Amino acid sequence: MKNTIIMGLTFSFIMLSAVSQAAVETVEAKAQMTELKAKLKGKFRSEPTSIKESRLPNIYEVMYGTEVVYFSADGKYFLAGDMIELETRTNLSDFAKQSVRKDIMDKEDFKPVVFKAKHEKHKLTVFTDIDCGYCAKLHREMPEINAKGITVEYLMFPRAGLQSKSYEKAVSMWCADDPLQAMTDAKERREIATKSCENPVSSQYNLGQEVGVTGTPALVTESGKLIPGYMPADRLAAMLDAEAKQ
Residue 14 sits at φ, ψ, to 5 deg, of -65, -45
Q: Which of 101, 129, 131, 175 is catalytic?
A: 129
Q: What is the DSSP string of 116-175?
A: --TT--EEEEEEE-TT-HHHHHHHHTHHHHHHTTEEEEEEE--TT-TTSHHHHHHHHHHH
Q: Which of 132, 175, 189, 241 is catalytic?
A: 132
| Cα–Cα distance, 34 to 205 (Å, whole number) | 33
The reply to whether 140 belongs to the active site is: no
Residue 217 sits at φ, ψ, to 5 deg, of -70, 150
The reply to whether 159 belongs to the active site is: yes
Give the SS3 label for residue 226.
strand
Sequence-ordered strand ranges (E) for the chain: 50-53, 59-64, 67-72, 78-79, 84-85, 90-91, 113-115, 122-128, 150-156, 218-220, 226-228
Q: Which of 54, 58, 65, 55 is nearest to 35 (CA)?
A: 58
The reply to whether 129 belongs to the active site is: yes
Q: Which residues touch 85 (CB under 8 Å, ≥6 apart)?
A: 55, 92
Q: Which of 74, 94, 140, 159 is catalytic?
A: 159
| Cα–Cα distance, 146 to 152 (Å, whole number) | 8
Active-site residues: which are they?
Answer: 129, 132, 135, 159
